[in-house]
Amino acid sequence: MLARPQDFATLQGSGITRSHALLFARFMRTDGEATRFGLSTGRKLGGAVVRNRVRRRLREALRVMAPSFQPGWDVLIIARPALIEADHEALVGALRRVLGRAGVLEGQSST
C-alpha cells in the first residue's frame, strides 16, 4: 500500500487518470516489483465510520483481485459518494473496469 505523503503527491502530479461513477483513479508506471495502492476517502463521504467502511470494502475487493495485477504500478483510488450505497458486485465491476482500462490487470492493455 502507498502510505507516504510523497507517494501520494507524486501520483497527484503525474500519471494517467481513469474515472467511473463510483470512483476515480490515478495511475503511474514504476520500476517496482509489485503494484502498490493508495486509498483516498474524503470527508464528502461522511463521518469516520463511513470512510473506514469504504476503505475496508476497497481493500477487500483489491485483495481478491490481487493475483491478476501486473507488476510495476502505483495506483491511487479516490472514492466517490456513490460508492457508499453500491453493492460488492458493483464495486468489483467498477474496479475491474478502471484498472483494466489503465492496463493494470493482466491480459488488459492500456488505452
Domain extent at residue 98:
5-102
**CATH number for 40:** 3.30.230.10
Helix (H) or strand (E) run with residue 77 in it: strand 73-79
The domain total for the chain is 1
Structure-block grid coordinates of residue 14: 503525474
| pLDDT values of the chain reduced to their tens digit, one per residue, 111 residues | 888 988 888 888 788 999 999 999 999 999 989 999 999 999 999 999 999 999 999 999 999 999 999 999 999 999 999 999 999 999 999 999 999 999 999 876 555
pTM: 0.90
**Beta-carbon count within 10 A of 88 CB:** 11
- Asked whether residue 36 is assigned to any structural domain, the reply reads yes
